Every structure is written in structure tokens, then in C-alpha cells.
Chains A and B, each alone.
Chain A
């Protein structure tokens, strides 16, 4: 299954895709478009990806976390396109026998996706629009 989607994410379906009868814990993380960023009001975000590379990089993150937590099942979907405040941009499900490793695996998946996967966002608000991170990259 593709990690990227242009449609709203069905978190319940994603959860069902990895939850086993042996699992006693299912951690579901949802990233949501917030109404502000670094002091500026945000109305919407356009998400864009280098799609084939982003698919590969999310796969690398998932495989790596699975290797660290062999008992944890992991599912990820990241939404692309035009999202407004309150929309869910990413859902990560980590299900396992017990909760401790599910929580830790989930945190690692989202932290690493934010660091390595070629996905960008253009924030739009009353003050204009901006590609997040670009201004501060100047040197």
C-alpha cells in the first residue's frame, strides 16, 4: 500500500490493517493542521512530496523502527495537497502486545519522518504564504 495519499486519511481502516488478536495496545498518532506557526496565523497548508523518493524514505523509516521493535506492527499514511486547519495530515499506527514499545515506536516513526522524508509544506495565512524552513536555510 502507498504511504502517500491525496484523500482524507481513514485512521480506523489504517488501524485495522495492522492490529492483531495478540495485540493489547494500539497507539494512533494524528498530525493535524494547526492555526498558527511561529507566531503567524495559518489558514491552510499545501503539502507536496517528491513522491517516489518519499515513498522509499517512509519505507526506510518503517523498516528501521520495525527492526528496533520486532513486536510492533507499523502503518503510516501521509496526506498531500491542500489542507485546512483541523485536517489530519498524517496518521501513524503502532500496535503491539504491550503499550510501552508501541508508544516508543510511534514517537520514533513521526520524529524520523519529519527529519528525512522529502515532503514540504507551504503555509498560507492572512500575512501571505511561505515554504516552511526555506528562509532560515539561507547562508
Chain B
């Protein structure tokens, strides 16, 4: 299945990307994608627990299973206002 991964703020800086199209096995959870990123980027290795996740512009639990066509974003600590 195809999932579009969006990077914002510190995560866009660290990965150097705004988005990536992932080809994932069925049943992949948001936290699995986070752990994959931690493997790819040394600067994320220390972040064992994923930040909040959002699936299709709604907050989601790390254990949420993804579906074909989903937009996934990890939400670093927010700082609006």
C-alpha cells in the first residue's frame, strides 16, 4: 500500500524532505514508520517514543494501522500562539 509521509518543522529540517511516498506492507502502524525513520536518520535515534501522529489531518495513536492512500505526519511538540 502507498502512504504519503509529510514532514514539518524540525522533521523537515532533519530529513531534508517535505514529503515521501512510502510503499508499506498491509498492517503497518504509525509507530512502525517512526521506527523506520529512526533507523534512517541518526538525529532521530534518541527519540524512542514517536511524537504525536496525524493520519489524514487528524490526531492518531501510534498504534493506528495505516491504509492505502493515507497521509501520515508526525507532529513534533506544537508551539503556536
Contact = CB atoms under 8 A, between A and B. Distances in A.
Interface stretch (A7-15, A19-27, A67-75, A129-137): A129-137
B8 A50 contact: yes
Q: What is the size category of the interface that chain A forms with chain B? A: 20 to 34
Interface string A108-139: 00100111111111100000000111101111
Contacts, number: 84
Contacts of A120: 8-10, 76, 78-80
Interface string B50-63: 01001001110000
Contacts of A90: 80-81
Q: What is the size category of the interface that chain B forms with chain A? A: 20 to 34
A48 B48 contact: no
B57 A52 contact: yes
Given A120-B8, A120-B10, A134-B10, A31 B57 contact: no
Given A116-B59, A120-B79, 8 more contacts: A49-B80, A52-B57, A56-B58, A89-B81, A117-B78, A120-B9, A120-B80, A139-B48
Interface of A: 31, 47-50, 52-54, 56, 78, 89-90, 110, 113-122, 131-134, 136-139
